[in-house]
Amino acid sequence: MAFPRLNAFSFWLTALGGFLLYFSFVGGSGLYGAGNAPDVGWWRTRRDVTRISVGHSAILDHRSAGVGFGSIGTAINIIATILSMRFRA
């Protein structure tokens, strides 16, 4: 890889974001029982602003955006590796 530290950072960012995303489903209702899906829409905005969501599932879902940032870092690393370390004959 062209940038091994970026690769490691992206991996751990993706792992942490995945854990938070999983935990938003399991422990979203405050660890008092089985959680539910986060009450957010496609762009992570609340669907109905008049309703108050129970638990912390929406907050954990917002913090799990590290999955996307880790994937972008990995993609940049792969593209940089292909462009800079290709075989030149």
Burial class (CB in 10 A: 0-12, 13-18, 19+), 54: middle
Domain spans in the chain, listed from the N-terminal domain onward: 4-84
- Report the predicted TM-score, pTM, of the whole model to 2 decimal places: 0.67
Which residues touch 2 (CB under 8 Å, ≥6 apart)? 77, 80, 81, 84, 85
pLDDT tens digit sequence for 14-47: 898 888 777 777 765 555 555 566 666 666 666 5
Q: Work out the number of other CB atoms within 10 angstroms of the CB of residue 45.
A: 9
Give Cα separations from 19 to 26, 27, 78 (angstroms): 10, 11, 24
Element (H, E) at 9: helix 4-26
Distance (Å, whole) CA 89 – CA 85: 12
Percent of the chain with pLDDT over 70: 55
Higher-confidence residue of 1 and 35: namely 1
Residue type, 41: G
Predicted pLDDT of residue 37: 63
